[in-house]
Amino acid sequence: MNTDFRHVPTLQGQHCHLLPLLREHAPALAEAASDGCLWELWYTSVPSPDTVDAYVQRALDECAEGHSLPFVVRDAQGKVVGSTRYCHIDASVPRVEIGYTWYARRVQRTALNTEAKRLLLGHAFDVLGCAAVEFRTHYMNHASRTAIARLGAKQDGILRNHMRMPDGSLRDTVVFSILASEWPTVRRHLDFKLQQESA
């Protein structure tokens, strides 16, 4: 496997800073998730204060196995506001999914989220050389579906009864992607969007 797919990079922007997730980030992640009690959204998998240690450990285990590259997200003031990761890594294509993304309510739908996606997509296409970057979300998570489409990703389809949720229900998963050939246009769109949001 390309060693770049085993190393969690540090990605720095004006509005956010993406750092490799560490076990000691768990308390700050619990605090971030408490802004909006995000774990109460039944169609997401955001950790609660009781489950955050296991959430972080699983992410670190998947990283050690070469399946994901997890990040903690800090705002411009250095405060932890959420988490995201490259997951379902297939270095043979190469292709990654950007997933497990959640933010404290106060920074949702802000320039921070746009910039974090811009940084992650830029690294995936320009450094890792990905042929495609994928996004997945619960069919019922309409806000997430709208936000992914707004990035410039195109919907590939819906995987019916795709996975089991923590409450035992079966999830229909909506799959989106951006191709390497589409990245220059998407990059220009995100840079323009970020400029507007930062004004």
Q: In CATH, what number is assigned to the domain containing residue 193?
A: 3.40.630.30
SS (H, E, C) 119-162: HHHHHHHHHCCCCEEEEEEECCCHHHHHHHHHHCCEEEEEEEEE
Residue the block writes with tokens 């959640």: 102
pTM (whole model) above 0.75: yes
Residue 75, beta-bridge partner list: 16
Backbone angles phi, psi at 184, to 5 degrees: -55, -40
Max Cα distance, the chain (Å)? 44
What is the reported pLDDT for 1?
Answer: 44
**Residue 45 CA neighbour count, 13 Å, CB half:** 20
What pLDDT sits at residue 3? 61
Q: Domain span at residue 66?
A: 3-198
DSSP 8-class letter at 22: -
* CA distance readout (Å), 68 to 20, 35, 76, 90, 95: 11, 26, 25, 10, 12
Q: For residues 183 and 121, is the Cβ–Cβ distance under 8 A?
A: yes
Q: Specify the number of domains making up the chain.
A: 1
The Cα-based distances of 157 to 114, 136, 162 in angstroms read: 24, 10, 12
Query: pLDDT of the chain along its 199 residues, tens only?
Result: 456 898 999 999 999 999 999 999 999 999 998 886 667 665 667 888 889 999 999 999 999 999 999 999 999 999 999 999 999 999 999 999 999 999 999 998 889 999 999 999 999 999 999 999 999 999 999 988 998 999 999 999 999 999 998 788 899 999 999 999 999 999 999 999 999 998 7
Q: What is the pLDDT of residue 43?
A: 60
